[in-house]
Copies of this chain bind each other. A is one copy, B any other.
Amino acid sequence: MDIGTLGGLIGGFFLIAGSIVAAGNPLYLYGDIASFIIVLFGSFAAMIAASPLQRSLGFVKFLKIVMNVQVFNKEAIITQLVGFADSARKEGLLSLDDALGDVEDDFLRSGLRLVVDGTDPDVIKKILYGNVSMIDARHQKGIDFFGNWAKIAPAFGMIGTLLGLIGMMANLEDVASIGPNMAVALVTTLYGSITANLVLLPIQFKLEDRNSEELLVKEIMIQGILSIQSGDNPRILEDKLYTYLPPADRPQKSESD
């Protein structure tokens, strides 16, 4: 569970609810099923129209990515790569064959497999970077999905408010009802803004961050795989790979952050 994302979301909603209560207003004033439906389902209908059915129905998959902490233990990956470089140097590239079974990461394992198979370095480079750019492109679709949704949701908030205002204005005789009707109308704008700014934008930013983190890990792996193949000095490889980490995470500090 990603405590940050969940905590941020829940905290944000509690802050909003708390500020309502603190102002002495009853919470039910701010609850309106119709407003909720028009904002969430209306904007989602637009997203369904905008995207392949498979993606909009599968958007939950991206939520799972957001909520689960992907543990990229970069130090462990570097240690593993340096270890492989070491044994490759001492016992030859073929010695990696046995160790491959223990490599959990599919990307790393398939890359090392190419090395063991004696594939040409340029071909390996092409395949691995091609893989990475396809992964990036797929993630980008998820990022764009939430980014576009975050743009459309406030518009549906405004659409809902306009629906309420128009209904109210066509019927202004009952002066006493103007205020409450206006309140209901504004709730939809409120929902649109909360949906976009507290839910969808944070999800988009989080997915972007996760993606850049994963691409960084893949870059470390590719650099490691290519160095192993070219027989680089394991010590130099370690130094090189640690430059991908912020100075605070390195064995010995060597630059300002």
Contact = CB atoms under 8 A, between A and B. Distances in A.
Nearest to A206: B50
B190 A49 contact: no
Given A155-B196, A166-B30, A12 B46 contact: yes
Interface stretch (A73-81, A83-91, A94-102, A175-183): A175-183
A137 B20 CA distance: 40
A198 B106 contact: no
A159 B16 contact: yes
A163 B42 contact: no
A23 B148 CA distance: 28
A182 to B, nearest CB: 5
A187 B166 contact: yes
A71 to B, nearest CB: 12
Nearest to A139: B257
Nearest to A152: B197
Interface string A41-58: 111011111111100100
Nearest to A247: B106
Nearest to A160: B19
Contacts of A186: 162, 165-166, 169
Interface in A189-207: 189-190, 193-194, 196-198, 201-206
Given A29-B166, A130-B240, A169-B183, 16 more contacts: A5-B48, A9-B49, A12-B49, A16-B38, A29-B170, A50-B209, A107-B255, A127-B243, A155-B193, A155-B197, A159-B190, A162-B189, A166-B187, A169-B182, A170-B180, A172-B178
Interface of A: 2-9, 11-12, 15-16, 19-20, 22-25, 29-30, 34, 37-38, 41-43, 45-53, 56, 105-107, 110, 127, 130-131, 134-135, 137-138, 141, 148, 151-152, 155-156, 158-160, 162-172, 178-180, 182-183, 186-187, 189-190, 193-194, 196-198, 201-206, 209, 212, 216, 240, 243-244, 246-247, 253-257
18 contacts: A5-B50, A7-B48, A8-B45, A20-B167, A49-B202, A49-B203, A50-B201, A51-B205, A51-B209, A106-B253, A106-B256, A134-B243, A134-B244, A137-B212, A137-B216, A159-B190, A169-B179, A169-B186
